[in-house]
C-alpha cells in the first residue's frame, strides 16, 4: 500500500510540474508574439488644436503664427531664434527693422507704410504687436531673408525653411500599393502611431536615427518611419540670398591696407608741409563728430585735403566719432530716426567731399548701448555699400573696461564692416600706475589673436593699429614711486635719446628698445617706437595674415618710419 501511495504522489507532482512548464511556455509565447506585433494604438500630436504652430526642421517652436496665406505673420522671437538674430524691434518707434548687406527695411506696427533704404514703401499687410510680441508679415521675410514656408490649411501647421537649408524629400512606400505606413512617436514598432500615410504621400526627412528616419508630413505631423518604408526623392534647396559684392571685396581683396590717421583738432594741416609717405594708401582724417543727442554731425572736412590725397593716390576714409560722450551716444543711437539722421548726414558729406570710406571711432560708451552700436553699424552698411564707401570701425583690445572695451561686440561688428582696426596701443595708458610700453609685442599679438579666436573675426578683416608715439615716464620717490607720463612722437623721443646721449637696450620681453636716465632725483623711462618695433609690428601683421596696418598718427612719425611700414605690401 505504501508503494502505491508513493507512486500516486509522484504522478501528481509530475502533472503539477508539467502544468507550470505549460504556463511558462504560454507566457513566453505570448510575450514573444506581443513583442513582435507592432503597436496599433493611434495618438494625436499634443499641438493639435493650436491654430498656427510653427516648425523648423521638424521641431515645434514656442510661438505660433497668425493669419494665413498672404496675410501670414510670424512672431519676432521665432524669426530671431530660427532665421536672423539681428532683426530688431524698437519700442520707442514701434518699428521692426530688417538689415541685410544690401538693404535696411523699417516697418511700423499697425502701419502699411514702410521704408526701404530710406525710400517709402507700401506693405500689403502691416506688422502687429499682440500682448507685447511683434508679428511680421511673411512677404518681406521671404524677399529679404530668403525664407520659404509651407502652410497646411487643414491643421494650420507652418513649416518654416531657412535660406541655405537642404531638405531631403521622400514618399511613403508601403509593401502593398493600397496599404499604409505608420509614422510613429519614436523609433520603435512598439511606439504609438501618429499618422498613417498612403503610398506616394510626401514626407520631409529631417534626420536619420539607426534604421529609422525622423520625418514630417505636409500637415505638420512628425514622427519616425522605417527606412525601408519610404522612397527617397530629390533634395529641395532653399536658395541662399545673393548680395552685391562691396567695393572692399572687389578692389581691396588682394591689397593690404596701409592707413594713417590724420589727427585734426582745430584746423586742417597744410598739405604742403607733408612729406612723402611711401606705401601709404589710405588717410583717415578725424573730421566728423556726433555733437548732440539728436544726431547732429559736425564736420571739419577740407576739400583741399581730399584733392591733395587723391592726387597722391591715397583714399580718404573720413573718421566719425561720438565726441567720446556716453550720454550723448545713448540718446543718439537709441532711436532709428536719430541713427538714420547720422547716417544720411555722413552719406551727404561723403558725396560732398568725395570720400572713399568712413571709419567709425566710438569710445567711452555705456555697455548698455552695445546692441545700439551694432545696430547703427548694420544700418550704415547698406548705405555705405551703395555709395562705394569702405566701412571700418576702430576697436580696443579686449579688457574688462566697461566704457572702453566691453561695449564692443567685436563678433557682430566684424560681420557688418569691411575692416576692423585694432587699436593695439595704450597697454600702459597715460595715468597707468606703472611705467611700461605703450604696446609691447607679446601684448599686441595676444590682443589680435583674442579677437580672431574668441570673436571669430577673419584675420583678413583685421587691421593692426600701430603707435607712432611713446610715453616718457617719470618715477618720483623711493620704493613706491609716483608715476606720471607724457606722450611724445617718434621725433621727440629720438631728440631725448640724443640730448641725453643714450643708447637703446633691447627689452626682450617688450620686443622694443628701451632707455632710461636721471632727471635730478627722478627716473625717466622710455620704450622706443623705432625701426625695430615698427618692423616687428609689420612682421606680426604679415604672419597673422591680417588685412593691413593703421598708424596713429601722421604727425608723430619720422620720415624713415614710412620706409619700414611700406614693407607690409611685400
Question: What are the C-alpha distances in Å from 136 to residues 98, 125, 129, 294, 524?
Answer: 11, 9, 9, 29, 64
Residues 6+ apart with CB under 8 A from 214: 58, 187, 205, 206, 207, 208, 222, 223, 224
Residues 214 and 118 reside in one and the same domain: no
Alpha-helical regions (H) of 314-366: 326-333, 336-353
HSE of 537, CA atoms in CB hemisphere, 13 A: 33
φ and ψ at residue 256, rounded to 5 degrees: -95, 135
Query: Considering the domain boundaries, does residue 38 fall inside one?
Result: no
Report long-range pairs for 371-375 (Cβ below 8 Å, ≥24 apart).
371/409, 372/330, 372/333, 372/334, 372/339, 373/333, 373/407, 373/408, 373/409, 373/413, 374/86, 374/409, 374/412, 374/413, 374/416, 375/88, 375/97, 375/99, 375/333, 375/339
pLDDT recorded at residue 33:
46
pLDDT recorded at residue 9:
54
Query: Considering the domain boundaries, does residue 501 fall inside one?
Result: no
Q: What is the CATH number of the domain that holds 80?
A: 3.30.457.10
Which residue is listed with cell 514618399? 171
Query: Considering the domain boundaries, does residue 41 fall inside one?
Result: no
Give me 474's grid cell.
617719470
Residues 228 and 195 reside in one and the same domain: yes
Query: Considering the domain boundaries, does residue 13 fall inside one?
Result: no
Residues 125 and 214 reside in one and the same domain: no
Q: What is the CATH number of the domain that holds 210?
A: 2.30.30.40
Q: Three-state DSSP class for 524?
A: strand
Interior/surface letters 101-126, b for 16+ CB within 10 angstroms, e for the rest = ebbbbbbbbeeeebbbeeeeeebebb
Query: Considering the domain boundaries, does residue 23 fall inside one?
Result: no
Of 161, 193, 209, the position where a domain reaches its end is: 161
Tens-level pLDDT at each residue, the chain (570 residues): 555 554 555 555 556 666 676 566 655 555 554 456 789 999 999 898 889 999 999 999 999 999 999 999 999 999 999 999 999 999 999 999 999 999 999 999 999 999 999 999 999 999 999 999 999 999 999 999 999 999 999 999 999 999 999 999 999 999 887 899 999 999 999 999 999 999 999 999 999 999 999 999 999 999 999 999 999 999 999 999 999 999 999 999 999 999 999 999 999 999 999 999 999 999 999 999 999 999 999 999 999 999 999 999 999 999 999 999 999 999 999 999 999 999 999 999 999 999 999 999 999 999 999 999 999 999 999 999 999 999 999 999 999 999 999 999 999 999 999 999 999 999 999 999 999 999 999 999 999 999 999 999 999 999 999 999 999 999 998 788 999 999 999 999 999 999 999 999 999 999 999 999 999 999 999 999 999 999 999 999 999 999 999 999 999 999 999 999 999 999
Q: What is the rounded distance in angstroms from the CA atom of residue 296 to the CA atom of residue 345?
A: 8
Domain that holds residue 104: 54-161
Which residue is listed with cell 536619420? 208
Residues 196 and 181 reside in one and the same domain: yes
Residues 328 and 411 reside in one and the same domain: yes
Residues 222 and 76 reside in one and the same domain: no
Query: Considering the domain boundaries, does residue 58 fall inside one?
Result: yes
pLDDT recorded at residue 511:
97
Domain count, the chain: 3
* Residue pair 357/390 in contact by the 8 Å Cβ criterion: yes
Of 161, 182, 215, the position where a domain reaches its end is: 161
Residues 140 and 64 reside in one and the same domain: yes
Residues 102 and 185 reside in one and the same domain: no
The residue among 266, 267, 264 whose CA lies nearest residue 286 is: 264
Amino acid at each position: 500500500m505504501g508503494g502505491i501511495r508513493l507512486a500516486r504522489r509522484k504522478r501528481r507532482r509530475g502533472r503539477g510540474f508539467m502544468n507550470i512548464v505549460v504556463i511558462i511556455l504560454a507566457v513566453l509565447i505570448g510575450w514573444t508574439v506581443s513583442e513582435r506585433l507592432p503597436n496599433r494604438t493611434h495618438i494625436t500630436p499634443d499641438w493639435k488644436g493650436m491654430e498656427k504652430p510653427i516648425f523648423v526642421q521638424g521641431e515645434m517652436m514656442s510661438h505660433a503664427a497668425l493669419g494665413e496665406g498672404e496675410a501670414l505673420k510670424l512672431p519676432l522671437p521665432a524669426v530671431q531664434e530660427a532665421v536672423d538674430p539681428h532683426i530688431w524691434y524698437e519700442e520707442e518707434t514701434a518699428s521692426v527693422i530688417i538689415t541685410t548687406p544690401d538693404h535696411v527695411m523699417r516697418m511700423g506696427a499697425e502701419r502699411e507704410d514702410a521704408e526701404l533704404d530710406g525710400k517709402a514703401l507700401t506693405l500689403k499687410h502691416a506688422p502687429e504687436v499682440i500682448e507685447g510680441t511683434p508679428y511680421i508679415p511673411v512677404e518681406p521675410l521671404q524677399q529679404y531673408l530668403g525664407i520659404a514656408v509651407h502652410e497646411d490649411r487643414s491643421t494650420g501647421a507652418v513649416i518654416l525653411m531657412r535660406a541655405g537649408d537642404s531638405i531631403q524629400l521622400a514618399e511613403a512606400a508601403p509593401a502593398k500599393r493600397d496599404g499604409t505606413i505608420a509614422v510613429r512617436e519614436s523609433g520603435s514598432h512598439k511606439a504609438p502611431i501618429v499618422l498613417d500615410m498612403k503610398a506616394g504621400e510626401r514626407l520631409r526627412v529631417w534626420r536619420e536615427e539607426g534604421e529609422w528616419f525622423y520625418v514630417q508630413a505636409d500637415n505638420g505631423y512628425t514622427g519616425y518611419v522605417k527606412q525601408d518604408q519610404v522612397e527617397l526623392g530629390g533634395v529641395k534647396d532653399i536658395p541662399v540670398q545673393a548680395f552685391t559684392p562691396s567695393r572692399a571685396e572687389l578692389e581691396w581683396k588682394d591689397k593690404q591696407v596701409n592707413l594713417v590717421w590724420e589727427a585734426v583738432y582745430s584746423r586742417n594741416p597744410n598739405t604742403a608741409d607733408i612729406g612723402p609717405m611711401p606705401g601709404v594708401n589710405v588717410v583717415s582724417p578725424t573730421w566728423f563728430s556726433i555733437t548732440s543727442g539728436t544726431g547732429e554731425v559736425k564736420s571739419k572736412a577740407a576739400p583741399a585735403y581730399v584733392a591733395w590725397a587723391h592726387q597722391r593716390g591715397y583714399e580718404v576714409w573720413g573718421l566719425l566719432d561720438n565726441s567720446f560722450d556716453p550720454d550723448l551716444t545713448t540718446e543718439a543711437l537709441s532711436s532709428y530716426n536719430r541713427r538714420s539722421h547720422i547716417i544720411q548726414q555722413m552719406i551727404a558729406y561723403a558725396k560732398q567731399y568725395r570720400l572713399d570710406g568712413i571709419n567709425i571711432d566710438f569710445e567711452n560708451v555705456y555697455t548698455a548701448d552695445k546692441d545700439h552700436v551694432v545696430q547703427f553699424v548694420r544700418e550704415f552698411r547698406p548705405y555705405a555699400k551703395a555709395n562705394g564707401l569702405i566701412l571700418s570701425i576702430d576697436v580696443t583690445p579686449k579688457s574688462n573696461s566697461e566704457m572702453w572695451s566691453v561695449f564692443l561686440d567685436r563678433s557682430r561688428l566684424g560681420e557688418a564692416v569691411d575692416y576692423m582696426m585694432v587699436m593695439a596701443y595704450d597697454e600702459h595708458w597715460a595715468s597707468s600706475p606703472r611705467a611700461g610700453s605703450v604696446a609691447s609685442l607679446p601684448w599686441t599679438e595676444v590682443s589680435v589673436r583674442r579677437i580672431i579666436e574668441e570673436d571669430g573675426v577673419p584675420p583678413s578683416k583685421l587691421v593692426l593699429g600701430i603707435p607712432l608715439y611713446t610715453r616718457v615716464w617719470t618715477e618720483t620717490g623711493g620704493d613706491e614711486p609716483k608715476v606720471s607720463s607724457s606722450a611724445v612722437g617718434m621725433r621727440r623721443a629720438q631728440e631725448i635719446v640724443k640730448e641725453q646721449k643714450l643708447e637703446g637696450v633691447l627689452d626682450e620681453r617688450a620686443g622694443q628698445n628701451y632707455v632710461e636716465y636721471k632727471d635730478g632725483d627722478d627716473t625717466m623711462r622710455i620704450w622706443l617706437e623705432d625701426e625695430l618695433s615698427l618692423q616687428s609690428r609689420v612682421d606680426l601683421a604679415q604672419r597673422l595674415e591680417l588685412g593691413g596696418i593703421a598708424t596713429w598718427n601722421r604727425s608723430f612719425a619720422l620720415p624713415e618710419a614710412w620706409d619700414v611700414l611700406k614693407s607690409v605690401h611685400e
